[in-house]
Chain A
Amino acid sequence: QQQVKQSPQSLIVQKGGISIINCAYENTAFDYFPWYQQFPGKGPALLIAIRPDVSEKKEGRFTISFNKSAKQFSLHIMDSQPGDSATYFCAAGAGSYQLTFGKGTKLSVIP
């Protein structure tokens, strides 16, 4: 019940395209859904986050879509750039400090 399932495992997108990463959760107590970006050899950095009272949140080229009834949320990266190439982790938290992470999606944006 604590799992967060993330797909795809890897993704190749052409420059300028849209990158879409999906996550699904089971625990209905989760009330916080952040996305982290991690470059090789670095720590995860908070990219964008959403709470279940809204269905969408946009920050620049990054958008989170949230479907509470389906227990799914996704990250969309518009106009993907080579600099976006990284591993992206979705996570979920239940009002505390314990984030449950997905296994990550390795994104490669090719010129």
Chain B
Amino acid sequence: NAGVMQNPRHLVRRRGQEARLRCSPMKGHSHVYWYRQLPEEGLKFMVYLQKENIIDESGMPKERFSAEFPKEGPSILRIQQVVRGDSAAYFCASSLRQGSSGELFFGEGSRLTVL
């Protein structure tokens, strides 16, 4: 499967716990994006990363959220001290080229439920 791989597909956490979502981009893609989808809403941009660099995190909440894309391994979206409002589907996308808004390929998402 050469698509964008996300795991876990479903994650349940209690308030105050940490959530870690992982994303492996398509083969050959070095640009990774995270989007969040709230129920009955469209996707909203969170962060754009390249290997070892955060390029744009303007859509990330200022607190509790962080993202990384290490030299080796998948990109990680980390949510500390989760609250009920963090319950959403988190989608990762990757692209081959920088600055190419048309070439985003999305994974199947990680659905976070906070109890």
Contact = CB atoms under 8 A, between A and B. Distances in A.
B100 A97 contact: yes
Q: What size tier do the contact residues of chain A reach?
A: 20 to 34
Given A32-B102, A43-B4, A45-B106, A97 B41 contact: no
Given A41-B108, A42-B108, A89-B43, A97 B31 contact: yes
Contacts of A42: 108-109
B24 to A, nearest CB: 14
Interface string B33-55: 10000001111110010000000
Interface residues of B, number: 26
Given A32-B101, A43-B4, A93-B102, A99 B45 contact: yes
A6 B42 CA distance: 10
A25 interface: no
Interface of B: 4, 6, 31, 33, 40-45, 48, 56, 59, 91, 95, 98-102, 104-109
Interface of A: 4, 6, 32, 34, 36, 41-46, 49, 89, 91, 93-104
